[in-house]
Chains A and B, each alone.
Chain A
Amino acid sequence: MKTSRRLSIAADALAQIGAVGLFFFSILAAIPKSLRHLLETVRQIWFVGAMSLVIIMTCGLFVGAVLGLQLYDVLSRFGSAAMSGTVVALALFRELGPVVTALLFAGRAGTSITAEIGLMRATDQLAAMEMMAVDPLAYVVAPRFLAGIVAMPLLVCVFNAMAILGAHVVCVSWLGLDNGTFWGNMTATVDVWTDLVNGIWKSAAFGGVIALIATFQGYTTAPTSEGVAYATTRTVVSSSIVVLALDFVMTAFLM
């Protein structure tokens, strides 16, 4: 690849990051105005949160089940099968819960946000709002951004609960681990602030980042069907990469 081409790609990437940054500040500036449309924010929380519950609960159940199965098998080799519940809970609360939920959230809610806003752009609905002196950043974008921040921690709590249930079914009901041991070790070891709340902080940050990327991609999409398709794809790819990178950074700071 020629140097000029590489430089061009790097310049485009930097410009894109700059544009996302400016868009982020525009959303922050629009949030006070968006509080006038509180019902729209509530509607979006229902849309990206409640409507994602089925996939979150199902995946949580299976992730917990497979985690319980694997950990019970591995820990049994060291004579520590009694710690299965504890390790499942720590892995879920600290990492797997927020990260897996974020990846699912990007696929379920992020894509729908991008597609919805992208189609509004393609059909001039955003331009129509601007012409009616209604700021689309306040009416369309900010409520979805806030909904992402609010809905993600709630979804992570549901995901974690379902995953613990899945692990309990496998470890206790199927593999015969004592019920008291499972819960007792877990509650004795897991710390609410360092394990549970740190995961909640992470999930709020992931929700904000995914909503930011999804709304940005929709808002700036080319007004064509192909443009909307590309924007939707970029939402999933960018969100996944950013979530995993941000997870590492936040873990380093929160530990």
Chain B
Amino acid sequence: MVAGRLPAQPRSFSCPGDPDRVNSPDTRAPIEPGADAYVQVRGLHTVLGGKIIFNGLDMDIPRGRITAIMGPSGTGKTTLLRHITGQLAADVGEIRVDGRQLAGISRTQLFDLREKIGYLFQNSALLTDFTVFENVAFPLRQHLRLPEPIVRNIVLTRLQAVGLRGAAELMPAELSGGMARRVALARAIVRDPSLIIYDEPFVGLDPVALNQVLKLIRTLNDTLGITSVLVAHEFAAVRRIADHVYLIAGGKVAAQGQPDELAQRDSPWTRQFFGGEADGPVPFQYPARDYAADLGFPAGAA
């Protein structure tokens, strides 16, 4: 654990008013955009393959909180994470992570920054030639010269946290999708990063594993003061742990706020997204020619 990361006020994990929620009442205090932001995005414009992904997106990820980024498929959530981690340069706009401007940053400086970031990939991205243990130990072995017993203890505690200590000697090919995600999660948190980015962390998890992962994310946030960003579609899970939710659509932030407040907000974006409606500002269908014409009927007949 890095000194200076502990939050000023320790938080409890009970919430009398909402038994489903994994966090404490004080973390649900409204977040003012821009206030002590760990990540700041200003005027982000991105075009990929001729398609406009972001069109002037502004976003603040508050320090020490859990921020969820939601939105329809293909709206650029993972692309935004790639921008934040310097994997993809912005066409126009400014991105600051922990006060450091990403544009023009050298590879060495970028790697220095990434040492403070844990990243859970959508497809887990485990190193297929290493065992589960070696996958989790990999960042430690690469950056720290720790005695082997300490490496072993750190790795086993992280694997215990995700419920896979007994799977330490398995190869990634022997894991289910959900288990692989939990191993990837253990690897992402093994160095106690100050920012953890979770790209679709709940996919493939059974209810027991989901509950434990939610508790783990919350606990990490509360005890170490880690800033967490998660991209997810599961609103029921998101509302249990997130302090702040951004709904992005059409290349911009369509709505933002606390999860419960956002779900009840009467805007066409939130109504459609949280209600799962096919009709609304976000088209269900990918842009296409006339359906009837595509099937060989007179245009407009369908």
Contacts and interface: CB of A to CB of B under 8 A. Distances in A.
Real binding pair:
yes
Contact of A132 (B112, B128, B139): B139
Contacts of A124: 121, 123, 125
A123 interface: yes
B127 interface: yes
Contacts of B107: 135
Contacts of A130: 87, 114
Nearest to A139: B142
A39 to B, nearest CB: 11
A113 to B, nearest CB: 14
Contacts of B123: 123-124
A133 B115 contact: yes
Nearest to B121: A124
B138 interface: yes
Given A130-B114, A132-B114, A132-B139, A125 B127 contact: yes
A135 B125 contact: no
Interface string A77-92: 0000000000000000
A127 B125 contact: yes
Contacts of A139: 142
A17 interface: no
B125 A133 contact: no
Interface string A45-73: 00000000000000000000000000000
A9 interface: no
A123 B124 CA distance: 9
Interface in B110-138: 111-112, 114-115, 117, 119, 121, 123, 125-128, 138
Nearest to A138: B142
B140 to A, nearest CB: 10
Contacts of B142: 132-134, 139
B128 A125 contact: yes
B143 interface: yes
Contacts of A129: 127
A128 interface: yes
B85 interface: yes
A251 to B, nearest CB: 39
B114 A133 contact: yes
Contacts of A127: 87, 121, 125
Contacts of A128: 119, 121, 125-127
Most chain A Cβ neighbours within 10 Å, of B111, B125, B143, B187: B125
Interface string A115-126: 000010001110
A160 B155 CA distance: 49
A140 B202 CA distance: 30
A69 B142 CA distance: 55
A131 interface: yes
> How many of chain B's residues touch chain A, expressed as a range?
20 to 34
B237 to A, nearest CB: 23
B186 to A, nearest CB: 13
A127 B121 CA distance: 9
A128 B120 CA distance: 9
A119 B114 CA distance: 23
B227 to A, nearest CB: 16
A134 to B, nearest CB: 5
Contacts of B127: 125, 128-129
Given A123-B123, A124-B121, A125-B128, A131 B143 contact: no
A240 to B, nearest CB: 28
Nearest to B117: A131
Given A124-B121, A127-B121, A128-B127, A133 B87 contact: no
A124 B127 CA distance: 9
B14 to A, nearest CB: 34
A123 B172 CA distance: 12
A123 B85 contact: no
B125 A123 contact: yes
B137 to A, nearest CB: 11
A133 B111 contact: yes
Given A124-B123, A125-B128, A132 B138 contact: yes
Nearest to A132: B139
Contacts of B115: 133
Given A132-B138, A132-B142, A133-B143, A123 B114 contact: no
A130 B114 CA distance: 8
Q: Which 7 interchain pairs have the tightest Cβ spacing? A: A128-B125, A124-B125, A131-B119, A133-B111, A133-B114, A133-B115, A132-B139
23 contacts: A123-B128, A124-B123, A124-B125, A125-B126, A125-B128, A127-B87, A127-B121, A127-B125, A128-B119, A129-B127, A130-B87, A130-B114, A131-B87, A131-B114, A132-B119, A132-B142, A133-B111, A133-B112, A133-B114, A133-B142, A133-B143, A134-B139, A135-B107
Given A123-B128, A131-B117, A132-B138, 9 more contacts: A125-B126, A127-B125, A130-B87, A130-B114, A132-B139, A133-B111, A133-B139, A134-B142, A135-B111
